Amino acid sequence: MKVKLEDVAKRAGVSPTTVSRVLNNRGYISDKTRQKVEQAIEDLNYYPNDIARSLFKKRTNFIGLVLPTINNPFFSELALYIENICSEMGYKVILCNSLLQMDKEKAYARMLIGHQVDGIIVCTYNRGVEAYKQPKLPIVAIDHYLSPTIPVVGSDNYTGGKMAVQHLIDRGCKSIIHINGPVELETPTQMRRKAYEDLVENPITYELIDLFDEEYEAVSIRRILKKHPEADGIFASDDLIAATCLKVANELNIRVPEQLKIVGYDGTATIKRLLPHLTTIQQPIEEIAKTSVSKLMNLIENPDCNETLETFLPIELLINETT
């Protein structure tokens, strides 16, 4: 049997109430009693049961974090910051990889609500998860609109897209291709696409249907590059796609940046480390994490507060050797 508060009380020769008081530093306790209790806690190697505490307090200090897959440098960096900040504040993070599947995301939402999480941070792109519509459930979305009442935190994707494309133009590109994920997902990359289409005269946008199949991705990009020998610039909607473009260009003996210039998007620490020569748009990932958590905490502490519904943090163009 696990040691419980009552055992500590018995051992210290006091009542459960008293033990609870020293545990929570509440009310008046004589030094002597406090010491007896602390001694008993140590002797018995007692760990307070947070489940029982949560049940009573109706506060679990749990946060749900729902993202497409943690195995993506952007999300893993975001998750690292979010978890770090939360743990500093005494919150614990439940990790959920939705794999962009609606049924999984719904199941996660139910699970999180059942577990009485104090709030949820969602960075995945499925609308219509009814469970998120629980009244009074604090939610913050990263980089996409979940519903009209849920605050969104993200970076300025439209400006980011413009900066990327303008940079290619400035570098002399005449024929710029854009490669993006599926349109039907309401991802932030759609704003990057829009910027591209607004800036370029004859936009040529390609969609990669399955973002999780890199084999397919490489094949598609090979096809695209073969079909467009005139292309001298690529704006990829994220760095992983840019990396594949780089690889394919290499295989096809297309010299980068001489014949073809490539700009990615995200600028994670991992990319900067593994692909330091990639020109990219860097998102303020740490700021996004901080802002989301602080908004969520605000919503939790103060349920009726009117959080600003949209926050777009500035991005930065990192010029390297691929342009």
Partner DNA sequence: GTGAAAGCGCTAACAG
Partner DNA sequence: CTGTTAGCGCTTTCAC
Nearest to 231, CA basis, from 240, 221, 239, 241: 221
* Footprint (CB under 7 A) of DNA, residues 48-87: 48-49, 52-53, 55-58
Per CB under 8 A, 15 contacts its own copies: no
Q: Find the distance separating the first CA and the last CA of the chain, reported in whole Å.
A: 65
Residue 32 vs 273, nearer CB to its own copies: 273
Q: Whose CA is closest to 259, among 220, 230, 218, 226? A: 230
Alpha helices in 45-145 (DSSP H): 50-57, 73-88, 102-114
Contact characters 260-279, its own copies, x per CB under 8 A: ---------xxx-xxxx---
Return the residues of window 14-53 that contact DNA according to CB under 7 A: 14-18, 20-21, 23-24, 26-30, 32-34, 48-49, 52-53
Q: Which does 21 bind (CB under 5 to 8 A by kind): its own copies, DNA, none?
A: DNA
Site string for its own copies, 195-234 (x = CB under 8 A): -------------------x--------------------
CB 175 within 8 A of CB 196: no
Stretch that binds its own copies, among 26-34, 64-72, 146-154, 156-164 (CB under 8 A): 64-72
By CB under 7 A, the count of residues binding DNA is: 31
Name which of its own copies, DNA, none residue 271 binds, using a CB cut-off of 5 to 8 Å depending on partner kind.
its own copies
Enumerate residues 89-108 that contact its own copies by CB under 8 A: 92-97, 99, 104, 107-108
Q: Provide the sign of the torsion angle of the four alpha carbons 178, 184, 187, 191, taken in this order.
A: positive
308/315 Cα distance (integer angstroms): 20
Phi, psi for residue 130 in degrees, rounded to 5 = -60, -35
Closest CA to 118 of 96, 102, 99, 140: 140
Which amino acid type is present at position 70?
Answer: I
Distances in whole angstroms, Cα of residue 148 to Cα of each of 106, 139, 224: 19, 12, 37
Cβ closest to its own copies, residue 83 vs residue 307: 83
With respect to its own copies, which residue has the nearer C-beta, 87 or 308?
87
Residue closer to DNA, measured from CB, 4 or 104: 4
